[in-house]
Amino acid sequence: MFFDTHCHLNDRRYENDIEGYVERAKKAGVNYLLIVAWDVKSSKKAITIAERFNNVYAAVGIHPVDAVKTPKSDLKELEKLLTHPKVIALGEIGLDYHWIKDEKERAIEHDFFVMQIELANKYRKPVLIHMRDATNDTYEVLKNNTPKYQGIMHSYSGSKEMALRFMDLGMYISLGGPVTFLNAREPKEVASVVSEERLLLETDAPYLTPHPYRGKLNESANIPLIAEAIATIRNVSVEKVEEFTTKNAKTLFKL
């Protein structure tokens, strides 16, 4: 059984097909899903969907790009959701310097990031980290505010050297569609160096659709394509990748 550690089934594009999405995932052997939020509304929606299915869980949190237009009072709302039994992680949170260029707005991202790590520590949850064009600052924040219950570098797009440093801070490395892209050098390098105990799978659906379906809407049923790419790179069987990545997710989320 596979575990998709990062999908946005709470995205409105799936609104009329939630049952079908979960069914197709199960048929593909993807029995465990973690639905990840980007603001309070999507956090509530992730919980509502997770309540309907076995082995479907929710992560609640405020994404760095959304943080710049979010009142701090939303963190109080978020805090209330963290005690829900289907909530197994806090995310996604982090730093995005690709979309956010303004220094003042970057300071807001930083504040929300640190405050949410503190919330995760208080409620004993791992964190899901979004990092885009902000590797060094993300590393500094995590080093100075270490998530006590660890976390995931989601859709990790940094170098293999930095992946090892994030692992030293207790983080897991999650890979998705880009590892299947024919021209992607870095994710393939990362897939080869991350230790078996720290590697996870994700789709980040509806984004980052794996080869050969690029251009189409992504979904959790595509996880085996990502596992196959990683198996080829590491020269092991797909079953082996399936086994250790699911075991890692269950260990991290205490399932």
SS3 128: strand
Least separation in angstroms between CB 39 and Zn ion: 12
- Per-residue contact string for residues 202-241; x = within reach of Zn ion by CB under 5 A: --x-------------------------------------
Q: CB-wise, 109 or 204, nearer to Zn ion?
A: 204
Q: Which residue has the tokens 């303004």?
A: 102
**Candidates 21-29, 93-101, 197-205, 224-232; binding stretch for Zn ion (CB under 5 A):** 197-205
- How near is the Cβ of 42 to Zn ion at its closest, in Å? 10
4 versus 231: smaller Cβ distance to Zn ion: 4
Least gap, CB of 129 to Zn ion (angstroms)? 10
The encoded tokens of residue 225 equal 């394509």
Backbone angles phi, psi at 43, to 5 degrees: -65, -45
Token pair recorded at residue 208: 């980052």
Q: Which residue is nearest to Zn ion (CB)?
A: 204
The three-state secondary structure class of 201 is: strand
205 secondary structure, DSSP code: B
Q: Of 19-27, 79-87, 174-182, 196-204, which segment contacts Zn ion by CB under 5 A?
A: 196-204
Give the strand order in the sheet containing 2-7: 2-7, 30-36, 56-60, 87-96, 127-132, 151-153, 171-175, 199-201
Q: Are 180 and 201 in contact (CB under 8 A)?
A: no
Which of 204, 219 has the CB closer to Zn ion?
Answer: 204
Please choose, out of 45-53, 176-184, 201-209, 215-223, the segment that lies near Zn ion by the rule CB under 5 A. 201-209
Q: Which residues bind Zn ion (CB under 5 A)?
A: 204
